[in-house]
């Protein structure tokens, strides 16, 4: 298959794609209009021809970006993403993407169009993290379009979103966490066991609240993380699968945590008997007062109340997860083990978040290597 380029205006080019001849010998051609420089037009032509050589058909439908986003959300995002993610993506699409490029025919969107949209969001005051998320949505939609052979390229791939400067994690000190947990235990707060469990396992808030009695094996000292409880603006409290496939995991418990959970389960049984018919038994380890799924924000507010009462700095519940990881890494545990315990999708994610907490790990590795080499002499 061959092709050629013809200039239409200062920033517009017409690509002619030669598709050969039909059964009657009539010449078949496809015309594609693109915006940008001549170099960009030539690159687009090469991508079309290369895709065709790889067996990807040239599909130039009149479907718009807006229409494709509806299809992408229905066919790909809804079956695969959590409710909170679906709502976040839909909000981005409605507020930022459709007003800017929703009218553009899907295959005709250019990297220049994407870049202009993202630059406009930045100029309008959107933070780099927000622009990065917009970029993720449009790029994800076009990745799916490539799979469905609706386009021959992903225009977002050629665009680099603004750099996001991520704040280094600063976990709380052991003494601070011990103070908070000690006060919660002293007051016999119903949610103390949940706070203890998160600190001693590194579970996400939703994972802890999603635990069921059938997920707990106190004899073996393990828990199985298979679901999570979250909060949706549209649907309220929702029970969903874990955040990622790696999040579905078994986590070992220390003897102290086993004792805390055993005592909690006993008290929960007594409460269920006291409430009789008014208790909704959903099998949850940390339910609301009447057995229904607990609002995650309730656990957050309970935790945040303790530092305030103790005269300590403001603390986030998620800091307990960071705390667990930092204690393990600073004690010399393998990042691979910590990654699996936290349910991260990769070890690189763990290192991206916590590498700064191990300032001497490379020097130590160098010394270990040198020692091994010397012993081999």
**pTM check: above 0.75:** no
Q: What pLDDT is recorded for position 147? A: 86
Residue 327 lies in a domain: yes
Residue 252 lies in a domain: yes
Q: CB of 28 within 8 A of CB of 21?
A: yes
Residues 201, 338 share a domain? yes
Residues 308, 221 share a domain? yes
Residues 217, 78 share a domain? no
Q: How many domains does the chain have?
A: 2
Flag residues of the chain having pLDDT under 50: none
Residues 313, 202 share a domain? yes
Burial of 342 (0-12, 13-18, 19+ CB in 10 A): buried
Domain that holds residue 83: 8-13+34-165
Strands (E), 40-183: none
Residue 367 lies in a domain: no
CA distances from 100 to 51, 113, 163, 319 (A): 28, 9, 22, 38
Domain end among 121, 136, 165: 165
CATH number of the domain encompassing residue 199:
1.10.443.10
Q: CB of 353 within 8 A of CB of 229?
A: no
Q: What pLDDT is recorded for position 170? A: 86
Q: What pLDDT is recorded for position 283? A: 92
Residues 145, 193 share a domain? no
Q: CB of 273 within 8 A of CB of 267?
A: no
Residues 125, 41 share a domain? yes
């Amino acid at each position: 298959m061959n092709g050629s380029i013809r200039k239409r205006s200062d920033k517009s080019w017409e690509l002619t794609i030669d598709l050969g001849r039909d059964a009657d010998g009539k010449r078949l051609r496809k015309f594609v209009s693109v915006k940008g420089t001549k170099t960009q037009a030539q690159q687009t032509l090469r991508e079309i021809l290369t895709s065709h050589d790889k067996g990807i058909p040239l599909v130039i439908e009149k479907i718009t970006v807006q229409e494709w986003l509806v299809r992408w959300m229905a066919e790909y995002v809804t079956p695969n993403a959590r409710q909170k993610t679906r709502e976040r993506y839909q909000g981005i699409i409605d507020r930022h993407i459709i007003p800017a490029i929703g009218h553009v025919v899907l295959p005709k969107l250019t990297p220049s169009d994407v870049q202009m949209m993202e630059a406009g969001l930045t100029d309008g005051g959107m933070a780099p993290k927000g622009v990065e998320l917009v970029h993720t949505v449009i790029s994800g939609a076009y990745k799916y379009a490539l799979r469905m052979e609706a386009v021959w390229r992903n225009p977002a791939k050629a665009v680099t979103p603004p750099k996001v400067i991520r704040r280094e994690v600063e976990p709380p000190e052991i003494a601070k966490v011990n103070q908070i947990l000690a006060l919660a235990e002293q007051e016999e707060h119903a949610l103390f066991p949940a706070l203890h469990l998160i600190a001693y396992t590194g579970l996400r808030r939703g994972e802890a609240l999603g635990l069921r009695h059938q997920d707990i094996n106190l004899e073996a000292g393990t828990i199985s993380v298979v679901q999570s409880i979250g909060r949706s603006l549209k649907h309220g409290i929702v029970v969903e699968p874990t955040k990622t496939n790696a999040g579905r995991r078994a986590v070992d418990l220390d003897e102290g945590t086993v004792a805390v959970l055993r005592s909690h389960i006993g008290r929960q049984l007594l409460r269920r008997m006291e409430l009789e018919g008014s208790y909704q038994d959903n099998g949850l380890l940390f339910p609301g007062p009447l057995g229904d799924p607990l609002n995650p924000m309730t656990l957050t507010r309970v935790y945040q109340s303790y530092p305030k009462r103790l005269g300590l700095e403001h603390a986030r519940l998620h800091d307990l997860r960071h705390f667990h990881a930092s204690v393990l890494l600073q004690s010399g545990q393998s990042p691979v083990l910590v990654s699996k315990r936290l349910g991260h999708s990769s070890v690189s994610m763990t290192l991206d978040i916590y590498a700064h907490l191990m300032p001497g790990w490379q020097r130590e590795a160098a010394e270990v290597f040198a020692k091994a080499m010397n012993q081999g002499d």
